Amino acid sequence: MALSRTSKNIHPPGHMKQIYRKSKKRNLTYRHVCEVGVYLPETSNVIDFIKDGIRATLVEADPETVEKIRAYFKGYNIQLHPCAVWERNGTIKLSKAQASTFVSELKSSPAIENDRYEIKESETFEVSCKAFSEIDTGDIDLLSIDIEGSEWFVIKHLISRPKTISVETHGKYYTNPYIHEIKKWMQDNDYITWYKDGSDTVFIQKRLFTPSWKDKVYIAFNNLKIRWKKLKRLFK
For the beta carbon of residue 220, count every other beta carbon within 10 angstroms: 11
Q: What is the mean pLDDT of the chain?
A: 89
Position 101 scores a pLDDT of 85
pLDDT score for 232: 66
Q: β-pairing, 124-130 with 84-85?
A: parallel
Residue 37 pLDDT exceeds 80: yes
Q: Does residue 42 contact residue 15 with C-beta atoms inside 8 Å?
A: no
* CA 107/CA 183 separation, integer angstroms: 19
What is the C-alpha separation between 15 and 114, in angstroms, rounded?
27
Strand order, beta sheet including 90-97? 84-85, 124-130, 90-97, 100-103
> What percentage of the chain exceeds 90 in pLDDT?
65
The continuous run of DSSP H or E covering 58 comes out as strand 55-59
User: pLDDT (tens digit, 9 = 90+) per residue, 123-132?
Assistant: 888 999 999 9
Confidence of residue 227 (pLDDT cuts 50, 70, 90): confident
**pTM summary value:** 0.89
Average pLDDT over every residue of 48-54: 98
Least confident of 16-25, 70-79, 88-97, 199-208: 88-97
Instruction: Dihedral sign for Cα 110, 113, 117, 118, please.
Output: positive
pLDDT at 5 over 50: no
More confident residue, 9 or 21: 21
229 vs 93, higher pLDDT: 93
